[in-house]
Structure formats: structure tokens, C-alpha cells
Amino acid sequence: MLWLKAFHVIFMVTWFAGLFYLPRLFVYHASASDGQTRATFKVMERKLLVMCHIGAALTILFGTLMLVLWPAFLQLGWMHAKLLLVAGLIGYHVWCARLVGQFARDENQRSHLWFRWFNEVPVLFLIAIVLLAILKPF
Ligand code: HEM
């Protein structure tokens, strides 16, 4: 159990490193005007998205393994709330992946200011999910 939990947390950190840095790249990419700079951002975003996918897949894999081995967690209210928030987080991740595609095709219409706000969303998910997982309030 502790090994699974340790790897769950390790890959969660990998996933969040990507979810924090990817929208930050969008902020700079949205204000970049020359072709060479944009091309560099496209490569960075594509590679970071791969890292994000790996982090997400392995966090979910180790989390799901724990639930399969200890299904009693599924009876607890905080776990229901956590899984609901994780579903929202996966939605955010998918949105980021679509934005990478839009930037790659030079189709982005959003301002760097919009991405600055977008960048704050994963902070809220991180705080809420970690508080639920550690404090287990209900
Ligand atoms: C489908 C996705 C996920 C599943 C199925 C899952 C499931 C689990 C399970 C069963 C545990 C063990 C709970 C315990 O020992 O009390 C756990 C622990 C934990 N999870 Fe997740 N989790 C998922 C996603 C996440 C995400 C996205 C985060 C962070 C944002 C996260 C953060 C944590 C933390 C910090 C712990 C350690 C809690 C402790 O030791 O008290 N999990 N998770």
C-alpha cells in the first residue's frame, strides 16, 4: 500500500509540474509575434504535454490500483469528493491538450491575460484534492 501511495504521489507531482508550466508557456506563446519564437514554444508545449500525459496516466493507475486492492475507500465521502475533483482536473488536462493543438496550428485567439487566469485553475484543484486526501474531513 505504501509503495503504491508513494508512486501515486510522485507521479501526481510530475502531472502538476506539467499542468502548472504548460499554461505558463501559453501566456508567453500568446504574446510572441515572430515565427522562430512560436516554433520553439510549439516544440516545448508538445514535449511538456507528453510528460503531463505520463504523469496523469501513472497517477490514475496507482490510485486505481489502491482502490482495487482496498475498495473500502470507495465508501468514504472524501474519496467521492476527491474523485469528482479529479474528473474536473482531467477535463482541465484535456482542455490544455486541445490548446496545444490550437497553438500548433496557429489558431489561438485568446490573450495572454486570459491564459494568466487559466494558469491559476490547477492551483485550486491541487489545494482542494490534497486537503481532502490528507485531512479526510468526512
Ligand atoms: C483517479 C485518480 C485518483 C485515484 C483513484 C486516487 C486514489 C487514491 C487512494 C486510494 C489513496 C490512498 C488513500 C489513503 O491512504 O488514505 C490516495 C492517496 C493520495 N492521493 Fe490520490 N487518487 C487519485 C488522484 C489524485 C490526485 C490528482 C491527487 C493530487 C492532486 C492525489 C493526491 C493524493 C495524496 C496526496 C494521497 C496521500 C494521502 C495520505 O497519505 O493521507 N490523488 N489516492
Judged by phi (left if over 0) then psi (alpha if -120 to 50, else beta), residue 110 lies in: beta
- Given this model, what pLDDT does residue 113 score? 98
What 8-state DSSP symbol labels residue 133? H
Cα(87) to ligand 1 centroid in Å equals 13
Number of domains within the chain: 1
Domain range for 21 is 2-135
- Given this model, what pLDDT does residue 15 score? 98
- Given this model, what pLDDT does residue 127 score? 98
Q: What is the C-alpha to C-alpha distance for residues 24 and 8, in angstroms, rounded to an integer?
A: 25
Question: Which protein residue's CA is at the shortest distance from atom 16 of ligand 1?
Answer: 133
Contact 8, 60 (CB under 8 A): no
Cα(116) to ligand 1 centroid in Å equals 28
> Which positions of the chain have pLDDT values less than 50?
none
